[in-house]
Each structure stands twice: as structure tokens, then as C-alpha cells.
Amino acid sequence: MLQAFFNIFRIPDLRNKVLFTLGMLVIYRIGFWIPIPGVDQEALKAAASAATENSSGFGRLLTYASVFSGGSLQQSTVFGLGIMPYITAAIIFQLLQTVIPALQDLKKEGAAGQQKITEWTRYATVGLCVIQAIMWLSFLKQQRLVQAEFLADRNNLFLFYAAGIAGLTAGSVFLMWLGEQIDRRGIGNGVSIILTAGIIARMPHAIEWVAQNFQPSTQSDKPGIGLVGVAFLIAAFVFVVAGAIEITVAFRRIHIQQAKHVRGRKVYGGQQHYLPLRINHAGVMPIIFASSLMIFPSSIFGWMNTRASMGGPTWWSNVTSFLAFNFDIGRYPYILCEIALIYFFSYFWTTVQFSPEDMSKMLKDQGSFIPGLRPGPRTAEYLETVMERITYVGAGFLAIIAIIPTLVASQMNIPFFVSSFLGGTGLLIVVSVGLDLVQRLEAHLRMRNYAGFLDNYERGRRGPRLPSTRGG
């Protein structure tokens, strides 16, 4: 593997792509040092740290948002919204393509239609940036996290909103442009690379918390994490990462037979191949939807319980206390609802993205068929049945990945931003992007006859192979 890493820098074209991508990521991280005017950064940082360590609703919201923004909402910089508005707009248009005939026709036009959809996605990104920026700045104003001189004068308050909205919108649009430049001149998917960089940037903070709260002696009276706890976190991290890699690359192979064609005295076709169906076809989207929705019940019920405790009927106070307790992070009803949402969105997203009828029609047009099944509706029905079964398995794995951070945070009494690296949205994104990046680098190395990252793996499966030679 070390030799393959050095081979990357022996190929001028690949070396330039990698260095360009790293340069864009450096620019991306520099933006976190540019604050928004008028925000009391120290007060915001203190409030965010307290909420995150206590795993409150506000803390969970910041942790979830930091997956897409690199934790910059705690600093309120120009990159505070991150790449999240662009991802949201892309998801919206991806869903609309299944219900709006005009978008379906554009999608069928190929590159020209996709370029038009991308243009509309950019416009929607700007609109979402403005809406989210107004919501975030209004929240800072209500929490008194804005400098006093901006709250005292209405004109200064207008300037605060104008500068904040312009800064946050420009930051997200710049990140969108940065991702497109990586797509064109760098290596990997630009938006995914930026997303992964923001997630990995939070890891040193989590490691620092574990180091500061490490207590080697289990008999110490100070709160912290012992040697057994640290060993468990390391083992759980390795196990979950290995499982995430396995489920990401796993697929069900459907045997496909190509029909034979006789032309003159020659027979063409008749080859056998496989149709791969991914076990986790929905990817990380079910966890994103379920996690974002589960933030609201815990936050709303907690707020209702706080207001009811200040005064009101006894029965209402008991009801709000019961709801706030059972929908708190880590409680059984909370976990049960999150698992149910993951299963629902797994089937929903698979239904939106995978069409058995289109797949059956494509096989029929290519002259291929599944042995034992007639082309057409019978093939579509079989593919739909197989996809439903493997989606059940994939959703179960996603549910396990999603609830591990919540269980670890509640049972071991550690902050959620530490346990979030044991599963959830961030881990699956990092694993998926890492695998895609390795495959892209492997393709460039193989194309120029260099030893790749997977040579040892394939040598172990296929036996010894001749050493690769370096070509021009």
C-alpha cells in the first residue's frame, strides 16, 4: 500500500489532480477563520459547548449540522451553513424527478437536460441559503448571542441581518463552486470530498476530549472514562468501520443470460453475466432523514416540559414530563421510532431510485433475460421481490449503525460528538467517499500499469501474479 501511495506522485496527471484537491481543501478550511460581523463568538462557543456536552436538543442539532458544515455553526463563520443547502436542493430535485413529468423528460435528454437541472439546483441553493441564514441569525438574536451594539439600534440590527445573510449565502455558494472545481480538475466527487473533510475535521476535538477525561484508575472519584471505556471505543470504532465497508460494497448478484443470435454461419451472444443489486441501495439517506426528524420530538417535548413546570395543570405537567422522558436521547421509545423511520425511508428511497419496470425493459432491449423467467412483467416482479428482501437487510444494518452512537452516549455518559464517530451519518459518508476515492486512484494507477492499493488483496484471492511494470 505504501508503494501504491508513492506511485500516485510518479504520474504527473494524477499528482496534479491530488495536489489540486488538497489545495481546494486548504482554502475550504481557511474560511472557518472568517467570522460573521456582530456575533458574540465567545458566548456562542460557550453555549454550544455546554449544549453539546449535555447532549441536549440544541446540542444534537449542532452535531447534526456540523456533519455538513464542519462544526462551523459553533463559530458562526461565513462557511456556517456549509454545503448543506446545496445537498438539500439536490435531494429535492432528485425526488421531484420522480413525480414531475417535465423533469423526467429533461433527465432523459442526457447531458443537456442534466445541465439544466443542475442550473435550477444552484438557484434553489441560493434560496435555501437565504432562508436558513435568516433562521440562524434570528436564533442568535433570541438567545442574546449578538453583540449589544447591534441589538440597541434598529439600523445596526438591519446591518447585522444584511451582512450575515450575505456572508452565509456567499460562503455556501463558494463551497458549491469549490466542489465543482474539484469535479473538473481534481480527484473524486467535489461535494462529497468537502463533506468528508468537514466530518474528519471534528475528529481531533473528539480525541482531545477523550484524552482530557481519561482516568486510568477505575477507583478515581473524578468523572471521566477509564481504560476499559477507551478500549471499548477503539474496538467499537474498528468493528463499525469494517461493517460499514462490508455493507457498502455488498451486493446481490442476479444471474443474467444473453440471448443467442445467428447471423449467417456465426452465432453471437450467449454470454452469462450478473446484475449486481446493492444491499444498501439507499445509502446514507435514510439515516439523514431519520436523524433530522428525531431531533424535533426531543427538543419540542423538552421545551413543553420546561414551560409546564413553570405553571399549569398537574395533568399537563405529568403528560409533558412523560413525553420528555421517553423521547429523550437513548430512551427505548426514541430508539424504536428512529429504527421505524430508518426502515420507512430505506424502502421509500429505494422505491424512488430503483425501478424494476425500467430495469426489466433495459434487459429486454439488450437481449438479456433471467433464466427461468419471461422478459417483461414477470422479470420486473422478481426484481422487485429481491430488492424488497435485500432492502430489509440493508435497513437493519443502517438501524444498527444509527443507534450505536446514541446508545454509547447515553450508557457511557460521554458527549454525542464523541460517540458520533462510532456510527451514524458521518461514518457512512466517510466510508463511502473513502472507498470511491480509493477506486478512482486505483483506476488511474492500473491504467498506467502501476501497482495499485488492491493488488495484495487480489493476489490473495487469485494467487501470485507477475510484478507490474511501469509504462509511459
Cell of 318: 405529568
Assess whether pLDDT exceeds 80 at residue 311: no
What would be the CATH architecture of the domain defined by 1-213? Orthogonal Bundle (1.10)
Average pLDDT rounded to a whole number, residues 103-110? 81
Q: In 3D, which of 376, 371, 373 has the Cα closest to residue 360?
A: 376
Q: Where are the domains of the chain?
A: 1-213
User: Higher pLDDT residue, 137 or 470?
Assistant: 137
- Taking a C-beta distance cutoff of 8 angstroms, is the pair 70, 79 a contact? yes
Task: List CB contacts of 152: < 8 A, sequence separation 6 or more.
Answer: none
User: What whole-number percentage of the chain has pLDDT above 70?
Assistant: 84
Q: In 3D, which of 422, 398, 393 has the Cα closest to residue 410?
A: 422
Question: C-alpha 314: how far from its chain's center?
Answer: 43
* Band of residue 20 on the pLDDT scale cut at 50, 70, 90: very high
Distance CA 208, CA 189 (A): 30
Long-range contacts of 382-385 (CB under 8 A, 24+ apart): 383/254, 383/277, 383/356, 383/359, 384/356
Range with the largest mean pLDDT of 133-137, 218-222, 271-275: 133-137
Cell of 43: 458566548
- Taking a C-beta distance cutoff of 8 angstroms, is the pair 241, 431 a contact? yes
Poorest-confidence range of 69-83, 145-159, 192-206, 300-314?
69-83
Task: List CB contacts of 251: < 8 A, sequence separation 6 or more.
Answer: 276, 277, 278, 279
Average pLDDT rounded to a whole number, residues 26-37? 82
Assess whether pLDDT exceeds 80 at residue 224: no
Q: What pLDDT is recorded for position 52?
A: 57
Maximum alpha-carbon separation in the chain: 92
* Band of residue 127 on the pLDDT scale cut at 50, 70, 90: very high
Q: What pLDDT is recorded for position 461?
A: 47
Distance CA 108, CA 330 (A): 45
448-457 residue pLDDT tens: 766 666 655 5
Q: What pLDDT is recorded for position 464?
A: 46
Please name the residue ranges forming H helices in 271-331: 285-309, 314-326
For the four alpha carbons of 426, 432, 438 and 441, in that order, the dihedral sign comes to: negative
Assess whether pLDDT exceeds 60 at residue 209: yes
Range with the largest mean pLDDT of 79-93, 138-152, 221-235, 379-393: 379-393
User: Higher pLDDT residue, 302 or 245?
Assistant: 245
Q: Is 462 helix (H, G, I), strand (E, B) or coil?
A: helix
- Taking a C-beta distance cutoff of 8 angstroms, is the pair 341, 295 a contact? no
> What angle separates helix 41-53 from helix 57-69, to the nearest 10 degrees?
110
Q: Is 148 helix (H, G, I), strand (E, B) or coil?
A: helix
Distance CA 243, CA 65 (A): 25
Assess whether pLDDT exceeds 80 at residue 56: no
* Band of residue 472 on the pLDDT scale cut at 50, 70, 90: very low
Distance CA 360, CA 383 (A): 8
- Taking a C-beta distance cutoff of 8 angstroms, is the pair 401, 287 a contact? yes
Burial class (CB within 10 angstroms; exposed 0-12, middle 13-18, buried 19+) of 252: middle
* Band of residue 123 on the pLDDT scale cut at 50, 70, 90: very high
Cell of 417: 460528538
- For 318-332, b/e burial (b = at least 16 CB within 10 A) is eebeebbebbbbbbe
Q: In 3D, which of 7, 6, 35, 8 has the Cα closest to residue 21?
A: 8
For the four alpha carbons of 223, 226, 230 and 232, in that order, the dihedral sign comes to: negative
Question: C-alpha 134: how far from its chain's center?
Answer: 24
Assess whether pLDDT exceeds 50 at residue 471: no
> What angle separates helix 424-447 from helix 377-412, to the nearest 10 degrees?
120
* Band of residue 63 on the pLDDT scale cut at 50, 70, 90: low
Assess whether pLDDT exceeds 50 at residue 462: no
Quick one: CA torsion of 413, 417, 420, 422, rounded to 10 degrees?
Answer: -70
Number of residues that make up the chain:
472
- Taking a C-beta distance cutoff of 8 angstroms, is the pair 39, 145 a contact? yes
Place of cell 463552486: 177
Q: What pLDDT is recorded for position 465?
A: 46
User: What whole-number percentage of the chain has pLDDT above 90?
Assistant: 7
Assess whether pLDDT exceeds 50 at residue 390: yes
User: Higher pLDDT residue, 55 or 470?
Assistant: 55
User: Higher pLDDT residue, 265 or 246?
Assistant: 246
**Kindly report the CA angle at 465 between 461 and 471, in degrees rounded to 5?**
125
